[in-house]
Amino acid sequence: MWDDPVLSLDIRIGIAAFELAVEHELPLAGITALFGHSGSGKTTLLRILAGLERGAEGSIAFNGEVWQATAPQKVFVPTELRNVGYVFQDARLFPHMTVAGNLTYAEQRARRRGNAIDSATVYARFGLKPLMDRHPATLSGGERQRVAIARALLTKPRLLLMDEPLSALDARRKAEILPYISRLPTDFGVPVVYVTHSVDEVAYLADTMVVLSEGSKLAAGPVAETLARLDLGPATGRFEAGVLLEATVVQHDKLYHLTELALGGAALFVPLIDAAPGTGIRLRVRARDVVLAIRRPVEISSCNILSGKILEIVEEPQTAFAETLVEVEGGRLRARLTRQAVADLNLHGGAEVYAMIKSISLAGGVSTVARAVDVDG
């Protein structure tokens, strides 16, 4: 296991009419998401980190080791000497080689550098043994990405860069691959920088995130804190805006197929999930799935009612909507309301409210190793 490194960035590049300029000190513990809309500069920044864009100005240092600098003297460490792994959107396996051949190629590269990794562990973790004699063209999209991630790991990288590796997969294949990616830092001791425009993937995988918009850093920090920020609505997407809550499995009700979770001292109920009592999970709750009331509701279908206090309200001019941030026991919730509802209920900072969350369905599915449960309305 490596110690948590720090990535220091002060980078600028112009490509046609687009400009990217990012200055940031990034501790690389666990999985860091580079998040933003298409065209925000995520992939360009990832390619710069990998040494695939020579036109960038400024500096990059990995744990104090300078990878790139244009002043006071020019430094450029080539890709192969940075010892980073790179997983592309389209896997990019060698089509003329079998799975075994693709993996052996990566192992040989690692040996030439004097690195060694337990290949048997990698094969076992990714369930690759049944695939070894097959060619990439015969694999499913999910299988190809499992092989691509394993191949990158077999080079024993100091940093693993992943460029939207799930973007070409359907929801079922994504659900299969997410648990593999989530375990990379703990299973193999390698920090991950993960490019995505999916809030769901950020919520499931990431520990910290950097939000990019039009080539600039808009925000950075722990995922839960960053997603709760009301001012980031245009960048994170108002329809998908929400929060992460840390909860613990209490017990399962097999009769009604429900799982009880503890959120602080409050109880939440979600459709039955495959996780043992005591397991810590993360719930992503969308702002559009939270309803607020100023009196405790009675005789309603929702079994998740949390008392709380409004911390912030941001009304969106020239629209019908407002965003609210509510402090509840064990965390914070966002609720997307109409501006008329804010006025009718006389909502304001400090107002006491009751937040209701439907638990009738889950989006994305959950497995025993899932890090995020998605509560959907």
Distance CA 241, CA 245 (A): 14
Task: Kindly tell me the sign of the dihedral angle through the C-alpha atoms of 182, 188, 192, 195.
Answer: negative
pTM of the model: 0.87
Token pair 């369905």 is found at: 361
Task: Compute the chain's Rg from CA coordinates.
Answer: 23
Which tops the pLDDT comparison, 71 or 353? Answer: 353
Does position 236 have pLDDT exceeding 90, yes or no? no
Model confidence pLDDT, tens digit, residues 106-127? 888 878 777 767 888 999 999 9
Model confidence pLDDT, tens digit, residues 22-37? 999 998 889 999 999 8
pLDDT of residue 32: 96
Given a contact cutoff of 8 angstroms between Cβ atoms, the answer to whether 306 and 296 are in contact is no
The mean pLDDT of 183-192, rounded to a whole number, is 92
pLDDT of residue 324: 95
pLDDT of residue 213: 92
The CA distances from residue 137 to 97, 313, 336, in Å, are 10, 52, 45
Which tops the pLDDT comparison, 62 or 175? Answer: 62
Does position 145 have pLDDT exceeding 50, yes or no? yes
Q: How many CA atoms lie within 13 A of 302 on its CB side?
A: 20
Given a contact cutoff of 8 angstroms between Cβ atoms, the answer to whether 142 and 86 are in contact is no
| Count of CB atoms situated within 10 Å of the CB of 1 | 8
pLDDT of residue 369: 35
pLDDT cut 90: percent of the chain above it:
59
Could you give the 3-state DSSP secondary structure of residue 29?
coil
Model confidence pLDDT, tens digit, residues 316-349? 888 999 999 999 998 999 999 999 999 999 999 9
pLDDT of residue 3: 59
Confidence grade of residue 128 (pLDDT, cut at 50, 70, 90): very high
Domains and CATH numbers, the chain: 6-227 (3.40.50.300), 243-376 (2.40.50.100)
pLDDT cut 70: percent of the chain above it:
93
Burial of 104 (0-12, 13-18, 19+ CB in 10 A): middle
Distance CA 117, CA 187 (A): 12
